[in-house]
Structure 1
Amino acid sequence: LSLVMANLDTTIISTALSKINSEFHAYDSFTWVITVYMLTNTAIQPFADIFGCRTLMIFILIIFTAASFLCGIAPNIGVLIVGRALQGIGSGGIAALAFIIIADITSLRKRGIYMGVNGAIYAVTSVIGPLLGGFFTDQLTWRWSFFINLPIGIICIIFFVLYFKIPTEKSSFIEKFKRIDFLGTFTLIACLVVALLGLNWGGAKYSWKSPTIITLFIVSFALLIFYIIIEFKFAKEPITPPVLFKYRNITASSVTNFLEGIIFLNVINTLPLLYQDGRLFSATYSGLRLVPISVFLTISSMGTGYLIGKWGHIDIYIKLGCFFSIIAVYLISLIGIDTQYYIEFLIFIIYGLSCGVIYQNCIMVAQRASPPEYLSISTTITSFFNYIGGAIGVTVYGAILQN
């Protein structure tokens, strides 16, 4: 239920963005509603291995539910962005912990089936999200896209407090707190924020050749170098342990999920804007047009989960998914104002089928390649790169629109 809520929150806003932009007159900063959400998603994920699943899940559910209320009552775009940042902390933790819990309670052979179910949840909420967001926007108000999380969040908190039991490391909160790589976390987020500011302001608020934009990119690069030094030399428990990248499959999975994050968030958020602002469709109808992507994403996710659980050969499905995803994204880029829907429908089938086999299967590849002591962190790393890709991709997309 918590995973349904977190995944729903990722896509429900896509059909509400146009209305939010017009209400707050925020066309120059609307991408930050998505970008900060993806950035803070990455910040919480590495802590799962330190604090344990139950404690951290309860904490992030409380944050997520409170942040949803803040987004729902937001009087301006600034408050909404702050609320989305807090929501991202909760959503990122929920998504990462779901994969860790599956890894902890299932055998390697059966994990593909459970990952397929997990992927199906992601796919189904991808269908429901834009539809619900469109319905709330047209019939009530876009604010209900956030208020809907309140009852679900409260139920999840009660369940985890009363019923969820899983073994955790016996150590005090202070000892766990000392293990957090605060310097690495702060440096990485600062690096990304500065780079994204440069991309967001470039060509819109400042010229690309202006000292401000050049300085932002230089500072971002310097912070990246500093982050790498921290992780290699100083961090006792680094966010991204360098030792894991000696395993080729973990590196490949992380890079693949990074690129998938760039693509998926852009597709899900670009098409509703095309439909609402370009073709003047309602928010609800815009959500309905995206249903084929999610339906076929569900089919491929559950189908490959079953096939992998029965016969293995996970790498073949990922390679096929990447190949057809490239073709589908190229075809999506050709969609214009007058494109017939049957053509879009066929393109969405290809994209949905290809996208459904990539994300959760890359995580499973990383888990299989990881030493047992790094199982949790290898899971969060691949998810971590997916969300970073989403943050960068949405900002680049916004920069393209503004220019």
Structure 2
Amino acid sequence: MANNSDLKSQTEFHDHVVLSEEEAPNLVGTAAEEIQKGYWKSPKFLGSCLAIILLANNLFWGYAVPVNVLNIINQDIGPSPNIYLVSLVNTLIKGVCLLLVGSVSDAVGRRYFMIGAQTFSVIGAVLSATSRNVNMLIGANVFIGMAGSGQVLYPLLSQEIVPNKYRGWSQGVITLLVLPSIGFGPIIGVSGHIETHVRCTVTIWVWCYWLHGIVSAVSLVLFILCYFPPGFHQLQSRKSRLDQLQSIDYFGFILYAGGLICLLLGLSWGGKQYPWGSARIIVLLVIGILGLITFVLYENFMKLAQPLLPMSLFRIRNFWIAVVVGSVGQMSFYAMNVLWPMQVTNLFTQDIKTIGWMTCTTGLALTIGEIITGPLFKRFGNVRWQMVIGCIGLTIFGGVMALGNEHRKAFAIAITICNGLFIGWVELVAIVVAGLVVPPERIGTAQSFFASTRAVSGTIASSIYLAIYNGELKTNMPQRVTSAVLKAGLPENSVAQLLSALSNGTSAALSKVPGINNNIITAARAGQKSAWSASFSTVYLSTIAFGATALIVAWFATDISEYMTTFVNKRVEQSKSRVETEKA
């Protein structure tokens, strides 16, 4: 018999939150005991699982690998000053469409959104691989970004088709199966650079996109043949397609998209294309923030049939706690993600292959953290303590990263691994909790908002860290280099020319400095490394503030054991349940 208490616990909106009958899609989940015996081994279920796994790998193949070889791509089909737009366009399109995909697919079904995402992925991959110039590649990444808005929901897709109590397992397993893409992106990317020197060819990057296209095509076929979750008629028995089309929150989407685009452009361009104090950056940031505030007010006070982001979700304590902890906690990861490759290159090695392997440690550690803790999520139990211990770990090891200098390579590698493991644990707990505690019919909206928030917090973190680093380096570099070379015997009136030559980066420029010799050059290089180390240290210390914030918020999480049931949110094959079959 079905476990009716499992079903009941999932249909009650936590903290007295109520969805109107018009607003909420039909509840289509069921207890695992009611599902036909052969369902879990059926071709459609297994095919859907494989389709989701391939889709998840596409997300990282479409961004993480190409972003590591943009300089190689620019050599091949450029050069162009707009090469940075390849990654920026991808990020913007994905971020803007994400919430719309999650919200609308809750209401009308996910099948055609996933088929559409993988279709765009194939188109984007083919156009990218055949690009003859940078502008064409930028256009191709519009399609890859649109695909990414569906692909980034892979945790949701994998979790809603398994019983609630196995969602930790689900997240851990799918993370294991995307390990090659997440963990080894840097070494795969720099392989293109190695090929450039060994075989005198730069076309290796093209095969990154062809492989992306092949995987997308296989996943697309599997979604078409196997993935049949509840569709429009199962989810919306009270509405026609026209009614549903008219009830979409178009104005809310315009406010959200406009605000998010302006905010992300301001954060991405600030300190790079334009100074932070420039009118262009200030206007973008102000418009972005005001646009998002207006969006929140609009969603909160307007009586909408189907809001893009129901504000009632934020009355669920564990949901907003998971969003804050997951978004703020992962800001420590972005310190490593942004700075660790620079640290490896500037302090430890110039060998491209070694750089690739060393920079893999951050992504590998994060994924291993999720893989280890996924199966233990239910066994560990109390999510408050899981979040608290995870946040303590990432706060401590994020700060300890400040001790990793040019003389402590092994120590620095070990700390990045430890930090990554704790960040992976926090990320897994936050993702699973955010999907568990919301109404089953709103899981797409909740998870897409969470993913969007993580993307914005990551961009904010990257901008803060780079601003701190550049500010510190501007002070530390002349001080430490000057002190080192004067002690080595360089005439004081040659210091300015030496600093200019170091900025130039060529041996020819250094050789023209009056009074220069090999000992002074060695001292200057040591001074540079000391300046870089000091600047990196300041940034790593700043991560303590983010970790401490996440830690404080995590303390207010409550028990979620009532949700760890056999409830299955959606089946991928809408066959009769075991109970219905027995009655027939």
Q: 8 Å contact 1:41–1:387 — kept in the other structure?
A: no
**Greater mean alpha carbon deviation, residues 125-134 or residues 74-83:** 74-83
Q: Distance in 2 between matches of 1:81 and 1:265?
A: 24
Q: Distance in 1 between matches of 2:400 and 2:167?
A: 33
Any residues of structure 2 matched to 1:381-400 within 5 Å, and which?
Answer: 381-396=449-464
**Greater mean alpha carbon deviation, residues 182-191 or residues 292-301:** 292-301
How far residue 78 of structure 1 moved from its aligned partner, in angstroms, is: 4.3
Q: 8 Å contact 2:186–2:356 — kept in the other structure?
A: yes
For 1:255, give the aligned amino acid.
Answer: V
Q: Distance in 2 between matches of 1:145 and 1:273?
A: 23
**Greater mean alpha carbon deviation, residues 112-121 or residues 275-284:** 275-284
Change (3 A) 1:392 1:71: farther
Matched, 1:57 2:114: yes
Q: 8 Å contact 2:267–2:459 — kept in the other structure?
A: no
Question: Residue in 1 aligned with 2:479?
Answer: none
Q: 8 Å contact 1:258–1:385 — kept in the other structure?
A: yes
Q: 8 Å contact 1:119–1:360 — kept in the other structure?
A: no
Question: Residue in 1 aligned with 2:221?
Answer: 158
Matched, 1:110 2:166: yes
How far residue 289 of structure 1 moved from its aligned partner, in angstroms, is: 0.7
Q: Distance in 2 between matches of 1:110 and 1:50?
A: 25
Q: Distance in 2 between matches of 1:393 and 1:146?
A: 29
Q: Distance in 1 between matches of 2:129 and 2:287?
A: 35
Question: Residue in 2 aligned with 1:377?
Answer: 445
How far residue 325 of structure 1 moved from its aligned partner, in angstroms, is: 1.7
Q: 8 Å contact 1:64–1:87 — kept in the other structure?
A: yes
Larger helix proportion, structure 1 or 2?
1
Question: CA-to-partner distance for each residue in 1:338-365, whole Å, 9 max, x for gaps?
Answer: 2433112211221221121122321211
Select 1:72's aligned residue among 114, 119, 129.
129
For 2:156, give the aligned amino acid.
Answer: I
Matched, 1:354 2:411: no
Q: 8 Å contact 1:34–1:391 — kept in the other structure?
A: no
Query: Aligned with 2:116: secondary structure?
Result: helix
**TM-score computed with the length of structure 1 as normaliser:** 0.86
Change (3 A) 1:201 1:184: same
Select 1:42's aligned residue among 95, 98, 111.
95
Question: CA-to-partner distance for each residue in 1:315-342, whole Å, 9 max, x for gaps?
Answer: 3222222222223333445555x24331
Q: Distance in 1 between matches of 2:452 and 2:466?
A: 22
Select 1:226's aligned residue among 294, 307, 311.
294
Q: Distance in 2 between matches of 1:399 and 1:180?
A: 40
How far residue 293 of structure 1 moved from its aligned partner, in angstroms, is: 3.2
How far residue 153 of structure 1 moved from its aligned partner, in angstroms, is: 0.8
Question: CA-to-partner distance for each residue in 1:20-51, whole Å, 9 max, x for gaps?
Answer: 56665667873x54444333323333323234
Q: Distance in 1 between matches of 2:375 and 2:243?
A: 41
Change (3 A) 1:69 1:286: farther
Q: Distance in 2 between matches of 1:86 and 1:278?
A: 38
**Greater mean alpha carbon deviation, residues 312-321 or residues 174-183:** 174-183
Matched, 1:2 2:55: yes
Q: 8 Å contact 1:119–1:301 — kept in the other structure?
A: yes
Q: 8 Å contact 2:92–2:264 — kept in the other structure?
A: no
Q: Distance in 1 between matches of 2:272 and 2:181?
A: 34
Q: Distance in 2 between matches of 1:187 and 1:280?
A: 47
For 2:219, give the aligned amino acid.
Answer: C
For 1:197, give the aligned amino acid.
Answer: L
Query: Aligned with 2:160: secondary structure?
Result: helix
Q: 8 Å contact 1:196–1:395 — kept in the other structure?
A: no
* % same residue: 22
**Greater mean alpha carbon deviation, residues 271-280 or residues 224-233:** 271-280
Change (3 A) 1:99 1:43: same
Alignment RMSD (CA, Å): 3.1
Question: Residue in 1 aligned with 2:25?
Answer: none
Q: 8 Å contact 1:112–1:309 — kept in the other structure?
A: yes
Q: Distance in 1 between matches of 2:277 and 2:451?
A: 34
Any residues of structure 2 matched to 1:193-272 within 5 Å, and which?
Answer: 193-203=261-271, 206-234=274-302, 235-265=304-334, 267-272=336-341
For 1:310, give the aligned amino acid.
Answer: R
Change (3 A) 1:29 1:151: closer
Question: Residue in 2 aligned with 1:293?
Answer: 362
**Greater mean alpha carbon deviation, residues 218-227 or residues 393-402:** 393-402
Query: Aligned with 2:66: secondary structure?
Result: coil
Question: CA-to-partner distance for each residue in 1:118-156, whole Å, 9 max, x for gaps?
Answer: 233344432222221121332253333323201111111
Q: Distance in 2 between matches of 1:69 and 1:339?
A: 45
5+ unaligned residues in a row in structure 2: which ranges? 1-53, 196-202, 472-584
5+ unaligned residues in a row in structure 1: which ranges? none
Q: 8 Å contact 1:38–1:388 — kept in the other structure?
A: no
Change (3 A) 1:35 1:205: closer
Q: Distance in 2 between matches of 1:181 and 1:284?
A: 49
Structure with bigger gyration radius: 2
Q: Distance in 2 between matches of 1:86 and 1:249?
A: 35
Question: Residue in 1 aligned with 2:376?
Answer: 307
Matched, 1:327 2:396: yes
Select 1:149's aligned residue among 212, 216, 219.
212
Q: Distance in 1 between matches of 2:184 and 2:72?
A: 19
